[in-house]
A and B are shown apart, each in its own frame.
Chain A
Amino acid sequence: MQRHLFMSALCVAICAAVCAAQDIRVPDSATAGAEATISAGGSGKATFYLVGPGVANKSDVALGEPIQLHANDLRNSGTYLAIVCSDSCHSAAFYVSAAKAASVTFLVHPSRVPVAQSDAVSGVAIPFDQYRNLVLAPLTVNFQMTAANASLFARPVRTRDGVAWFRTASGRSAGAVQITASIDDVSARRALQQVASEPCNLRIDGKRVSNGILVQTLPVHDCAGNVVPDGTIVTFSASEAQGKSTVDAPIKQGVAKAQIDASGNTVISAASGVVLGNELRIGAK
């Protein structure tokens, strides 16, 4: 009986000694880009492995002494495995969290938007630390949309799972618009172009000239009063007894012009995209 007790105690002692020899203590919390220390109990030489996102290091260490983890090895947020091998291998896992937000990835759509359209503009902001780790701690992102120094939209949004987003209507005036997403002193800026909507009240005027008919539009605006961009095509059609003529003329400085060969009584109309204008009747030469 005593012998049994002695043997059991001896086994327990040996096991405890072995376990203590391989006891790995890892940091409770670590931050990306910050040094950390690991300790492995026991004595003698061992091989230390650090395996994690972006890292797979191997080094010789002395058991019982602290093992320094370099900041550069812990720059990526995620789960790391510390493995110590002497006679056998033992491991422990620890987590490295992201550092403070140092940049914002800001996605804005679209890059061109017609004026006065509801829910036409949307943006997504994703904060990252200086090592490009996604910052998952809730942060407040301030979204702002300005045109010619006038604020069109401003809203603070709390990130959820590292993402914040917004959606808003486009402004009523054509032109360049700045949209920013900022977290404390970190911000990202995007530009988008507000463009005139479909031509509204497309009206034409014309007169007979020596070699045909000269027809032009009145200044072409959208329904909000914005001049339609230069280069927008206006199709002029002229119908007379001898046939039909068409010219696709681009708008220049708000007006599209065309010269059409027609000598008889002519009916002229105009269209831009799917918008139709008025009709004009011009008598024979």
Chain B
Amino acid sequence: MKIILPILLVAVTAVLIVLAFFGAGQAHGTVGIAAGSAVYGLTPKPATPQQALTNLLSDVQRRNWDRAFDDVSKSSTVTEQAFIEDWTGSNGSLRSFSSLEAFDSRPLHATNDDAQMRVRLHWTTPVGPIEDVRDIRLVREGDIWKAVWPKVVIPNVPAQVIPVTYLRWDLVSGGASDQWGSGNVDAPRVRIISMNAVDSADGAVVMGEVVNEDTIPAFVNVNATLVDGGGNAIDDESSFDKIDHVLLPKQVTPYRIDFPNINLTNVKNVRMDVKATLVPASADPVIGVMNQKIEADPQGKSVLHGELLNQSGQTVNISHVIVSFYDNNAKVVWVADGYVDRALLPQSSEPFAVEIPHSVAGRVQNFHVVVDQFTLGKS
């Protein structure tokens, strides 16, 4: 009797392990898509392109870099160091603070020796979940498949001295004593220059642009309250990160305020409120947005591509691209944003891509891109 219970427990545990192993990696949702999650300890032989890709990405999830690099074909021109850096990020980029949570892959085409797989990577990042889509080529080597990894180009920035002559604003607080009227500095003057409220698939959206009309930098936030016919507030939300918060003098930023699960049918008025406060800031770094173009991506979605060029001498760790899209009446019809997960090294560029919803893509005639940036160690 005493021995039966332990035996029973071991048996049940073994069954559960086997079930978990074979249960994981099974397709769920759409047929033909292999989903992946980390299952430690048991790695099936990469006898198919799907299995090879799953093994590779599982090793990446576990940060088992030696095994992950073993899943890469020797015909690849990438070094192990570059391969690891491609996944882990560097220079304090957004990727270096992110982790691969899950992935989905589907085959694009396959022959006996060569296959192309499209994988959707789900990253957990400090700025929220981010999805990345990559096409990966796999080749058969003997009886197993391996991924062919493209050469990773790391910008080679030559040593140089770049003087910084751009303006910087510092904020000096007044003394502690309350001498009425003696020491006030007015808050920056900012103005909402456009506002458009629309319904979207996820709810109501209020968007537009705001300008800093003052001669000093402003930290800006835009709030909106939806009001019904009786004058009662239905909901109020903030622009959160769909805005470039620090505006230099005469700078314009788009903003977007989302009201999830709310329809504009009952909304009779939108009350806008823009708050601006004094903040220290610098006009450096200057980031150029080059070669902006709207194209269809391999999945058929409209995407605005471009490159961010860091024209300064400091590394920009995290870049945030915010885009306002206009119709042929110069009205803001959508505001989209995206983060670049690689750091912008001095005098070098990185690509960015921002998706345009299908419902809006046909009406877009023009666009304006602003770049918000975060540099480690700076306020």
Contacts and interface: CB of A to CB of B under 8 A. Distances in A.
Interface of A: 105-112, 188, 190, 193, 195-196, 199, 229-235, 242-250, 252, 258-261, 272-274
Interface in B173-215: 180-182, 184-186, 193, 211-215
A105 B288 contact: no
Given A232-B215, A248-B370, A274-B211, A243 B306 contact: yes
B108 interface: no
Q: What size tier do the contact residues of chain B reach?
A: 35 or more
Given A109-B186, A247-B311, A250-B166, A272 B250 contact: yes
Q: Which 7 residue pairs are nearest across A and B when measured between Cβ atoms?
A: A250-B283, A273-B250, A243-B293, A231-B167, A247-B288, A107-B181, A233-B251
Interface in B282-303: 283, 286-293
B181 A231 contact: no
A112 B214 contact: yes
Contacts of A273: 211-213, 250-252
A2 B295 CA distance: 123
Nearest to B305: A243
B166 A252 contact: yes
A236 to B, nearest CB: 9
A247 B288 CA distance: 4
A246 B289 contact: yes
Contacts of B185: 111
B71 to A, nearest CB: 37
Nearest to B307: A261
Given A105-B181, A112-B186, A246-B292, 9 more contacts: A193-B215, A229-B215, A231-B215, A243-B290, A245-B290, A245-B306, A246-B368, A248-B248, A258-B286
Nearest to A273: B250
A218 B367 CA distance: 26
Contacts of B182: 190
B214 A248 contact: no
Contacts of A252: 165-167
A261 B291 contact: yes
Contact of A112 (B167, B212, B216): B216
Contact of B193 (A108, A234, A250, A274): A274
7 contacts: A112-B216, A243-B293, A245-B306, A258-B288, A261-B290, A261-B309, A274-B252
Nearest to A192: B186
Contacts of A196: 215
A231 B311 contact: no
A250 B286 contact: yes
A233 B249 contact: yes
The interface centre, meaning the residue of B250, B290, B291, B368 with most chain A CB atoms within 10 A of its CB, is: B250
Contacts of A109: 186
Contacts of B212: 273
A252 to B, nearest CB: 6
Given A109-B186, A250-B166, A261-B291, A231 B249 contact: yes
A98 B370 CA distance: 58
Contacts of B309: 261
Given A107-B181, A272-B250, A231 B283 contact: yes
Contacts of A233: 248-251, 283
Interface in B246-262: 248-252
A106 B184 CA distance: 11
B97 interface: no
